Structure 1
Amino acid sequence: MFQQDILKLAFEVHRITEEKINVIETLTRRTKTLSLNARIEASRAGQQGAAFEVVAQEMSQFANEVGQLSTELRGAIASNISRIENAGEAMMLDFRGSRFADLSRNVVEIIDRNLYERSCDVRWWATDSAIVNAATRGSEDPNLLRQASARLATILRSYTVYLDLWIADRNGKIICNGRGDRYHSVIGQDVSKEEWFRKAMRTATGDDFAVCDIARNSILHNSAVATYSTAIRTNGETFGEPIGALGIFFDWEPQAQDIVKGVALTDDEKRTCRVMLLNADFQIIASSDDHGFLTDKFPLNLINSERAYYRAGDNMVSYALTPGYETYTGLGWYGCIESAVPTY
């Protein structure tokens, strides 16, 4: 990068200048030594050495002046090189911080675009006739439950980003799922107290949906999921009465890891950067180094609510708040990149 080239050039100029001034100072010391020896020999020579002593004194004076000049030159160059280095470092950090803040925004935008599609999926599938029929009369006709389960399985074969899809009746009992062969204990589970079910049943219309933060689901083999839900309504109508709930479970970890590890960084940057997604509480919900997932919080310093960067010791932290996507406003997540400050 141009900023790094400026810093490297400044350090190289400083190094060469120091090297050459050291040579001048070495020559000055040698000149002084020669001048001193010449004055001693001139003194021994008596009257015959008087003229030579004048030359020796001039050599000594010359050496002193050169020494003074080299000292002044060293100070002047060091001062200006320091200013160049500071300006170059500030320019480099500003460029790097701004670029990484933009990449942080890009990371969280990509995931929000993905999750926007999940919000569309759940609202669409909740109007599917097989799903509506299962929620309406499944308790009376087991064949309707089998048809709904088959329909969910068909959806899952096309939408491989989901671990499972569940239908709960109005009381919160799971009556259908799409992967009964993999998740054997789902049917009959009571989810009436689960956040996704309660939020779904409180949605005002079929245009609304509920979303929960990333969490592990014990029934789904403790996998980390993003859960979306909405009410299943009478006849699948937008303003129909809620008769059950549809919950869809996005397989979060592999999708999120692909995004944080796919950021457009150079090979050198990848070795010194950690790309993360943080939830609204700064909990790490994805990390390019696979550390701290759903266990650690990152000490993000919000010097600006939407986008900023700052230095933290030997590291730089850049971040950006989710801007949301279309009708999906997001959950207050942040894209974040922690990077080592380059040394030269």
Structure 2
Amino acid sequence: MQDDILAIALELSESTRSKIADLDQIMMKTKILTMNARLEAARAGEAGKSFAVVAQEMGAIAGEVNDLSAALQANVTQNASRIREAGEGMAIALRGTRLSDLARNAVEIIDRNLYERSCDVRWWATDSAVVDALEQATPEACAHASSRLGTILRSYTVYLDLWIADRNGRIVATGRPERYRGLAGADVSGADWFRRGRHTATGDDFAVCDVAVEPRLGNAAVAAYSTAIRAGGRADGAPIGVLGIFFDWAPQARAIVDSVSLSAEEREKSQVMLLDSQMRIIACNRREREGQVYPLKPDQPIGHYIAGARLIGYGLTPGYETYRGLGWYGCIESALS
């Protein structure tokens, strides 16, 4: 719509310029006629005096019209420039708003996805097989728990693995022992997900860590969620260990940034990103930028601004239900032209 308005305004401006040019041509012809009339009046002598007066008035009128034409031309030129600037400003503002809305939507989608992960970890920590692996602590109970975790993983394909660790941080069961070997008995007591999960206050609480590479899972990027496994599977039971679940970050996040609703032309000159709270690029449609720190300068939760020849739209995570989010941003950088 704004492009149509701008086009109409500029077309009107060009039409006015053309008419002014036509008027200038008419005035030039009038001046020539006036000059010829004065010459003829001079030749006629006394008989041409009255005609000379008419010719003089015609010249004066032609001069006035010429001055008016010049003033109108200057005014049209000035206003055309203002119309163009206003139109371009309007177009950039609307485009920036669209980019920021799309950026906010991208981070909202990942938040809804991660909210479900926070539900999963709290639910699975109460599973009787998971609790028994720690309370009974027998090889049979641990094998049953591992089988149970494997069943979960066959349905929930967004996870790389699920781990059960005892209160000392020793892994007693995993969901994919055939894929990720040698994890049984591994010490994870120093891992952030374990420490934070162990200190959750109740079974209604969970811990979530920023996206990070997990060496024990083939150096894959994961978002780790954890919560304490409690005695009897009760929300108020004493912590007896920790359940850690590892969300397969890269394919899920990349699917989101790749599916943002940009036209083919927009996508060609745009970069769609998810940024963590430290402005580290944790997903991008230009894969080579992942891991870099992006110089985003937000001054409000959602907005846009111009940086050199680029238009930047961004949106802060609003969280989703009980998931408050981690201070992540959706961000789209696009060339202005």
Contact 1:230 1:245 (C-alpha < 8 Å) held by counterparts: yes
Task: Find out whether 1:132 has 2:134 as its counterpart.
Answer: no
SS at match of 1:92: helix
Task: Find out whether 1:158 has 2:155 as its counterpart.
Answer: yes
Task: Find out whether 1:322 has 2:317 as its counterpart.
Answer: yes
Task: Find out whether 1:303 has 2:302 as its counterpart.
Answer: no
For the residues of structure 2 that align with 1:296 and 1:57, how far apart are their CA atoms?
A: 78
Q: In structure 2, give the amino acid aligned to 1:132.
A: V
Contact 1:211 1:227 (C-alpha < 8 Å) held by counterparts: yes
Which aligned pairs between 1:275-314 and structure 2 lie closer than 5 A? 275-293=272-290, 295-304=291-300, 306-314=301-309
Distance 1:217 1:78, change over 3 A: same
> How far 1:59 moved relative to its partner?
9.8
SS at match of 2:304: strand
The correspondence for 2:222, drawn from 220, 225, 231, is: 225
Distance 1:275 1:18, change over 3 A: farther
Counterpart of 1:99 in structure 2 is 98
Counterpart of 2:193 in structure 1 is 196
The correspondence for 2:331, drawn from 323, 326, 336, is: 336
Contact 1:185 1:219 (C-alpha < 8 Å) held by counterparts: no
The percent identity for this pair of structures is: 52
Give the gaps of 5 or more residues in structure 1.
Answer: none
Q: What is the root-mean-square deviation in Å for CA atoms of aligned residues?
A: 3.2
SS at match of 1:255: helix
Q: In structure 2, give the amino acid aligned to 1:200.
A: G
Q: Deviations over 1:105-146 (max 9, x none)?
A: 2211111111010000001101111111112233xx211121
> How far 1:11 moved relative to its partner?
3.9
Contact 1:214 1:225 (C-alpha < 8 Å) held by counterparts: yes
> How far 1:186 moved relative to its partner?
2.5
TM-score scaled by structure 1? 0.84
Distance 1:191 1:22, change over 3 A: farther
For the residues of structure 2 that align with 1:317 and 1:198, how far apart are their CA atoms?
A: 38
SS at match of 2:287: coil
> How far 1:67 moved relative to its partner?
5.7
Moved more, 74-83 or 196-205: 74-83
Counterpart of 1:118 in structure 2 is 117
Contact 2:27 2:65 (C-alpha < 8 Å) held by counterparts: no
SS at match of 1:246: strand
Q: In structure 1, give the amino acid aligned to 2:323.
A: Y
Which aligned pairs between 1:258-269 and structure 2 lie closer than 5 A? 258-269=255-266
For the residues of structure 2 that align with 1:290 and 1:9, how far apart are their CA atoms?
A: 42
Contact 1:31 1:59 (C-alpha < 8 Å) held by counterparts: no
For the residues of structure 2 that align with 1:188 and 1:264, how far apart are their CA atoms?
A: 46
TM-score scaled by structure 2? 0.85
Give the gaps of 5 or more residues in structure 2.
Answer: none
Task: Find out whether 1:169 has 2:166 as its counterpart.
Answer: yes
> How far 1:259 moved relative to its partner?
1.3
